[in-house]
Copies of this chain bind each other. A is one copy, B any other.
Amino acid sequence: MPEFEIGPTRADEDEAILAMTVEAGVFNQKENSTVRELLDGYYEGPEISGYNFLSCREDGRLLGYACYGPRELSSNGYDLYWICASIHARNKGVGRALMRSVEEEIAKRNGVWVVIETSDTDHYAPARRLYERCGYALSMYLPDFYCDGDGLCTFTRRVR
């Protein structure tokens, strides 16, 4: 595994995160603006918004990020809201390294479950493969959930 530096996202990284999200070409405009909202919540304070960000860097350069947070009315459940790797750092293990760091953070907080909701469309096939490679189980599948032809896949992993 390469030597990534993974830690809390810094205040000066928001532009790089938004640029990387658009550049990934996976997310639509509504999704891109959701990342802006998640970041705003993180900068306001993760304890208030429930949004935590981790950045993955190599030689100081941002290679990817992840956003996760506690599920409301639950003390053991956490959602992974977002994970994204730079298109310039494919197949380097950025996604996997970020997943492991998110799980470590959740385990530190005594959490039990990581939940990932994603789409069943071809577009998200690489993301689903990442989750499966990282040991996540497809715990629920609801076809046509988001809209006709776009179903919900819920992946989960128990961390303690």
- Residues on A lying within 8 angstroms of B by beta carbon are 30, 34, 71, 73-77, 112-113, 115, 139-140, 142, 144-148, 152, 154, 156
Name A145's contact: one of B77, B146, B147, B148 (CB within 8 Å).
Answer: B77
Inter-chain contacts of A74 with B (CB < 8 A): 145-147, 152
A148 to chain B, nearest CB (A): 7
A70 to chain B, nearest CB (A): 12
Q: List 30 A-B contacts (CB under 8 A).
A: A30-B73, A34-B73, A71-B145, A73-B146, A74-B145, A74-B146, A74-B147, A74-B152, A75-B146, A75-B147, A76-B144, A76-B145, A76-B146, A76-B147, A77-B142, A77-B145, A77-B146, A77-B152, A112-B144, A112-B148, A113-B142, A113-B144, A113-B145, A115-B142, A139-B140, A139-B142, A140-B140, A140-B154, A140-B156, A142-B156
Main secondary structure, interface of A, reads strand
**Which residue of the partner chain B has the closest CB to A142?**
B113
Q: How far, in angstroms, from A30 to B74 measured CA to CA in the complex?
A: 12
A134 to chain B, nearest CB (A): 17
Contact: B145 with A112, CB < 8 Å? yes
**Which residue of the partner chain B has the closest CB to A75?**
B147
Inter-chain contacts of A156 with B (CB < 8 A): 140, 142
A75 to chain B, nearest CB (A): 5
